[in-house]
Amino acid sequence: MGAIYGVVGESDATELTDIGARLRHRGSEVREWSPGAGCRLGERSAHAPARDVPPSIAFDGYIDNVEEVTQLVGGGDLDATAADPRRLLAALFSKLGPVGARHLEGHFAIAFWDDDAGRLVLIRDRYGASPLYSVRSRGRLLFASEYKALLAIPDMPAEPNRVAMRHLQCTRYPMGDQTLLAGVHPVARSAWTTLEPEAESVRRYWTPRTAVARRSDAEHVAALRRALLEATRRQVARFDPIGVQLSGGLDSAMVLGGIREVAPECAVHTFTAGYGADDPEVEAAGRLARHFETVHHPLVLEPERIPELLPATVWHMEDVYGREEMVQLYVLTREAARHVEMLLAGYAADMLLGGMPRHRLAHLAMRWPWSRGPLADFYRTTQTGLRPRSLAGRALVRLHYRGKHVDPPRVLGTAYEPESDPLRREGDQPLGTFLAHGVHEDLGWEAIQGCHAAWGIDFNAPFMSPRFAECAFTIPDHLKIRGRTQKAVLRRVGAGLLPAEVLQRGKTFQRLRHDERFSAVLERLADEFLNPASLRDRGLFDPGEVDALRRRRSAAPYPTEQAYRLWTLIESELWCRLFVDRRGRPLDRPA
């Protein structure tokens, strides 16, 4: 677990040190390099120091296919490469240039200085699971794995980005190409970004596309099974023991079943966070853990602990994700770090194989052209919170939310409104095309990585393997959603790997119980962060709108939609206090 950072352009000698000091990743030492032409790179990393690595590359993350890439560049010492992947990257980019990143599998952020061309190149993995941010300030380019580190530079402005803040209130997701911190942008994922004094260019090395293979249904199932097991084998190979973030659902169960298939002797620790022993997710995960004979760690998050945990969770997430399960993840990764170095999860299966409720809605709209208008209008409301534009859309919203739909609060000073996909039918596999378009829109990886990095633990997922993704996009639509069954092909892949009861389970979510206790905690947090005086001083939200959002019936819990709107508002004000008022300084009392 490491971090990278750097400055290009005229800079004070202390700037790089200030950035490095802010980064809180575990590591053996901080190293600073001056590759030339006014570029200074730094790295805080657990990689062993190496004298024979060019001082032009900084690297954070891990590479799953080290042996394969080593062969591609002409061989080398695998042990030395594993100790410091910069050796491998230096050889790869020397041979192929930045496009060589398409041969890398894993999670990574890379910075390297091309001395011949006098330019900096920044590269991120396909999903952007390893964060990297950049900003231009006073004629310099600064970049770092965490934007709180950039705020260590005294003349770096600390202002909220009102457009991104509005996007968060509507969608409860980060914006993707902007951050909540004005002027700071995420480096493009699945791409290399070339930065020169007066120019900047972005080129993708991976663009998901649907290309259905001519195979029988049974052959499609067999191909996806091979891809899943091979990805699992690569990701488990370096670890014993290994951890699995286990829910009661299909995706994480497939990860666990895959591990037992490819590495039956590997010690496995499973971790589940829930609201109590009667949480269906906790119960189902416990049954799976017993079935596969893992060392199981069930964790209970009492809602009364949220005020203690939320500041640290937001500080580590940076751009927040508007759901309370991130606090559960923060607690889970803390426990996992005591036992394992790597935590596997079921991430990305839904986005590749059509597992979310919105995917079923999109599928219906594409199958029934006559319904596309009302369903697209309804879909827009479910994804952005904005009111439907049509009578039919409004009727669907009233039915779905049972009259309890809550408008997202306005952000003062911006008229921005997010749009959703219009659910157009494209090609003969419209669902696959829709899913391919959405791969880079399913955001929140940086927040997930932040919760892991808080405790010095890595995360991975077999479904995030490039080869699994490419195989998934050769699967026809009828094997993804079949009638009322979603991820139908994955359920067939799981036959023989998982108990039958798991293969029949629908989509589930790990969440806190939205009861009176949770609502009381929300009110307590709102009293602290959303009081009228604080809101007027901040100038982001209208105190009257927030007051209306806070109202609830006596002795009744907040309805789910209202609770999430309130939760996102609380996170937003907390974010402002941490990153605007405190400029990202470390917490006085980390949870």
pLDDT score for 81: 63
pLDDT digits (tens, 9 = 90+) for 46-70: 555 455 566 688 899 999 998 999 9
pLDDT score for 119: 85
The CATH fold of domain 3-159+167-204: Glutamine Phosphoribosylpyrophosphate, subunit 1, domain 1 (3.60.20)
pLDDT score for 12: 66
* 20-26 contact pairs (CB < 8 A, 24+): 20/44, 20/149, 21/152, 22/144, 22/146, 22/148, 22/149, 22/151, 22/152, 22/584, 22/586, 23/144, 23/145, 23/146, 23/149, 24/146, 24/454, 24/586, 25/1, 25/145, 25/453, 25/456, 26/1, 26/456
Region 355-377: mean pLDDT is 91
pLDDT digits (tens, 9 = 90+) for 272-289: 999 988 899 999 999 999
For residue 587 the two structure tokens come to 């917490």
Share of the chain above pLDDT 90, in %: 68
Q: Return the minimum-mean-pLDDT range out of 11-15, 24-28, 36-40, 61-65.
A: 24-28
pLDDT of 130 higher than 70: yes
The residue among 378, 375, 376 whose CA lies nearest residue 388 is 378
Q: Mean pLDDT over all residues of the chain?
A: 90
Q: Which residue has the tokens 């709108």?
A: 545
- CATH 3.60.20.10 boundaries in the chain: 3-159+167-204
φ and ψ at 339, to 5 degrees?
-125, -30
Q: Which CATH number fits domain 217-348+442-503: 3.20.20.100, 3.40.50.1370, 3.40.50.620, 3.40.1390.20?
A: 3.40.50.620
CA distances from 227 to 234, 270, 439, 482 (A): 11, 23, 18, 22
pLDDT digits (tens, 9 = 90+) for 445-486: 999 999 999 999 999 999 999 999 999 999 999 999 999 899
Helix (H, G, I), strand (E, B) or coil at 217: helix
For residue 383 the two structure tokens come to 């994804």
pLDDT score for 346: 96
For residue 186 the two structure tokens come to 């995420």
The Cα 438–Cα 424 span in angstroms is 13
pLDDT digits (tens, 9 = 90+) for 551-564: 998 879 999 999 99
Predicted confidence band of residue 510 (pLDDT cuts 50, 70, 90): confident
pLDDT digits (tens, 9 = 90+) for 290-334: 999 999 999 999 999 999 999 999 999 999 988 889 999 999 999
Task: Report which of residues 282 and 17 the model is more confident about.
Answer: 282
Helix (H, G, I), strand (E, B) or coil at 257: helix
Predicted confidence band of residue 369 (pLDDT cuts 50, 70, 90): confident
pLDDT score for 56: 84
Task: Report which of residues 488 and 427 the model is more confident about.
Answer: 488
- CATH 3.40.50.620 boundaries in the chain: 217-348+442-503
* DSSP structure string for 417-473: ----------SS-HHHHHHHHHTTT---HHHHHHHHHTTT-EEE-GGGSHHHHHHHT
Model confidence, pTM = 0.94
pLDDT of 339 higher than 90: yes
In DSSP terms, 192 is beta-bridged to 123, 203
pLDDT score for 116: 77
In 305-407, alpha helices (H): 306-317, 325-336, 349-353, 357-367, 372-384, 391-401
Share of the chain above pLDDT 70, in %: 94
The residue among 56, 135, 136, 119 whose CA lies nearest residue 89 is 56
